[in-house]
Structure 1
């Protein structure tokens, strides 16, 4: 449930956003022509891209280049809310505030390199002061104008360019607006063991549920539910015979949140319980 949602527009685009949410909440976040910096003020944020996921906690940020995302919001342990601020980066807006020419660090110099969809950033004191200032403006919107928003946008980009993680960030910054193309198979295989529903995977793949199911059967010759369940159980069987992890840890690692459901599914697949499978198999 959304408790609060405030925005500041710049040149017709929603650039600065503040949200307070009562989790859990999962929302698709397609960003085909924009990038985004997400700051977690309370709670936990998880950004699922086509081939990865990034988890950020309080006072951490996620820089996401253009692409298809699914965002999960989890509650703060103290007051049960999630609070975040986002700064959306549009190439046309940046071109205007930089007088038609993007700065060098935002230009892709080597398009042949593989491009990560995003990265997590632990925020230092300067980032904290930046977002504190945004909180002040959200509380006093009458003080906000286009010139001020342009300066705040430039300030964030300068912080990103000069952060202690700048070496890691420069490649992502230089490819913010260069979308990467992933195969349907690579998207599915990247998220087999994430706690995502079939509907979630369809959102990440950028398809309707019916189109996703058709594409899945064409690629894997199997329904999504059956294939994903079998792959997760196969991994669980491998972990049971090669690690000393507890059965509950293995269930969680294979995206089973309910231990009883995991045990039932495992027995249907392998004819015995996970504990019996471990006992009767060669275990180091």
Structure 2
């Protein structure tokens, strides 16, 4: 249940919202043309997107595009209190602010094939201080003006670009300007030899881990872990023959981040170590 709601507009569109809710509640995100940055000031909330869900603790934040249905936050624990701040990123507003050129965070990544639409952002000191600064303007609305709001938008874009989540954030925000929907297979094939985990691949195709595994098995007739490992080992075997790269470099290039794990996996598949495989083939 919403017990208090305040908003600040820029260029005729809602920019910042401060919402106080008492549990139990559900707060759905409507279909819209924007992306949202949600900061949990007080209380723990659950984020839901179709079958996927996870907890956003107090002082953590969430970035999501609001172009798809089925996204909401909730808290089912009675008598608990939640306070959130939501910043909306509208394409028209951002284009007006950045008249000459969009910053890199809003531009389409060159080497990323992903449909990811949600990213949880860990407790970040600078972002927390930024949110505390926004609260001042809710308490003193007469001090709010267009120039200050433009600066606040630029500030949060800069802060997000400096987080450890910047790569995923760029994917999400750039969809506002360069919408692209990749097929399941396009995303898998493009990321086969990356360092991504199965959970991260599921995020890239914008599915829960259970839905991702079901779809993968249906398309490839194999589990994700087994199929991906075999493809990486096959590529490694080829590189051992056709290149003079160090075995460590080959392991990394094929998506393995641990040499011991690569060597064991290779031996299990080919019944020989990578070094002896290279020697054996070259001697032939």
The interval holding the TM-score normalised by the smaller chain is 0.5 to 0.7
Residue of structure 2 equivalent to 1:48: 48
Residue deviations 1:246-271 (CA, integer Å, cap 9, x gap): xxxxxxxxxxxxxxxxxxxxxxxxxx
TM superposition shift of 1:107: 1.3
Give the Cα–Cα distance (whole angstroms) in 2 for the partners of residues 7 and 146 of structure 1: 14
Contact 1:34–1:89 (Cα < 8 Å) also in 2:
yes
Instruction: Name the stretch that deviates more: 37-46 or 98-107.
Output: 98-107
Where in structure 1 are there 5+ consecutive unaligned residues?
184-189, 195-284
Residue of structure 2 equivalent to 1:90: 90
Instruction: Name the stretch that deviates more: 37-46 or 159-168.
Output: 159-168
Which residues of 2 match residues 27-46 of structure 1 at below 5 A? 27-46=27-46
Q: Does 1:74 align with 2:92?
A: no
Contact 1:40–1:56 (Cα < 8 Å) also in 2:
yes
Residue of structure 1 equivalent to 2:266: none
> Could you say if the C-alpha distance between residues 53 and 25 of structure 1 is closer, same or farther in structure 2, counting changes exceeding 3 Å?
same
Which residues of 2 match residues 238-277 of structure 1 at below 5 A? none
Answer with 1 or 2: which has the greater Rg: 2
Give the Cα–Cα distance (whole angstroms) in 2 for the partners of residues 115 and 141 of structure 1: 38
Where in structure 2 are there 5+ consecutive unaligned residues?
184-206, 212-284
> Could you say if the C-alpha distance between residues 177 and 120 of structure 1 is closer, same or farther in structure 2, counting changes exceeding 3 Å?
farther
TM superposition shift of 1:46: 2.6
Instruction: Name the stretch that deviates more: 162-171 or 139-148.
Output: 162-171
> Could you say if the C-alpha distance between residues 112 and 168 of structure 1 is closer, same or farther in structure 2, counting changes exceeding 3 Å?
closer
Which residues of 2 match residues 178-257 of structure 1 at below 5 A? none
TM superposition shift of 1:193: 8.4
> Could you say if the C-alpha distance between residues 100 and 26 of structure 1 is closer, same or farther in structure 2, counting changes exceeding 3 Å?
farther
Give the Cα–Cα distance (whole angstroms) in 2 for the partners of residues 16 and 59 of structure 1: 17
CA-based RMSD of the aligned residues comes to 3.1
> Could you say if the C-alpha distance between residues 102 and 156 of structure 1 is closer, same or farther in structure 2, counting changes exceeding 3 Å?
same
Q: What TM-score, normalized to structure 2?
A: 0.58
Give the Cα–Cα distance (whole angstroms) in 1 for the partners of residues 116 and 161 of structure 2: 17
Residue deviations 1:176-202 (CA, integer Å, cap 9, x gap): 45556699xxxxxx67989xxxxxxxx
TM superposition shift of 1:57: 0.9
Give the Cα–Cα distance (whole angstroms) in 1 for the partners of residues 116 and 146 of structure 2: 32
Which residues of 2 match residues 17-166 of structure 1 at below 5 A? 17-50=17-50, 52-68=52-68, 69-74=70-75, 80-99=80-99, 101-110=101-110, 113-166=113-166
Q: What TM-score, normalized to structure 1?
A: 0.58
Residue of structure 1 equivalent to 2:175: 175
> Could you say if the C-alpha distance between residues 44 and 177 of structure 1 is closer, same or farther in structure 2, counting changes exceeding 3 Å?
farther
Give the Cα–Cα distance (whole angstroms) in 2 for the partners of residues 121 and 128 of structure 1: 11
Give the Cα–Cα distance (whole angstroms) in 2 for the partners of residues 110 and 40 of structure 1: 32
